Amino acid sequence: MTKNFLGLIFVGIIFCELYAQSLVAETSLEVRAVYPTGSEVRISAQITIEFNQIVVSLGASMFNEDDIPIEIEPALECEWNWVKLDTLKCDLPTNFKLALSTRYQVTRNFY
């Protein structure tokens, strides 16, 4: 009886995982939000990008700029970090300040 019950639970978990993966595959990856936003931004602000779904697996942390499907203009020297499974952050050098009176454009480079 216990073996049957455990087997049923195992099959249920596998089914739920496959169903969740199919839902993710049907949803295209999009940017949900970019922070900071607006015209009154601190010059020491970090740039954070939230996606509409999980992008990386648990344990992912830092990546080379070539691995990141985001472009910022004018270009910044970002050290990219996944702070959540669906949230990417551009960590700027310690003494770096965002340029005054400058509009930064964040563009996604994925389909």
Residue 7 has pLDDT above 60, yes or no: no
Tell me the pLDDT tens digit for each residue of 24-81.
556 788 889 988 887 777 777 788 999 998 887 766 555 555 667 788 899 888 888 8
Q: In the prediction, which pLDDT does 50 show? A: 92
The rounded distance, in Å, linking the Cα atoms of 87 and 56 is 9
**Residues 6 or more apart in contact with residue 67 via CB below 8 angstroms:** 80
Sign of the dihedral through C-alpha 108, 68, 31, 71: negative
Burial class (CB in 10 A: 0-12, 13-18, 19+), 61: exposed
Tell me the pLDDT tens digit for each residue of 89-106.
988 888 888 888 888 888
Closest residue by Cα to residue 77 from 103, 48, 97, 55: 97
Q: In the prediction, which pLDDT does 18 show? A: 57
Is the CATH number of domain 30-108 2.70.180.20?
A: no
Closest residue by Cα to residue 81 from 97, 68, 94: 68
Q: Which residues of 87-102 are buried (b: 16+ CB within 10 A; e: fewer)?
A: bbbbbbeeeeebeeee
Domain range summary for the chain, segments of one domain joined by +: 30-108
Q: In the prediction, which pLDDT does 37 show? A: 81
Q: In the prediction, which pLDDT does 54 show? A: 85
Q: Running DSSP on this structure, what letter comes out for residue 88?
A: E
Q: In the prediction, which pLDDT does 74 show? A: 92
Instruction: Give strand pairing partners of 90.
Output: 47, 80
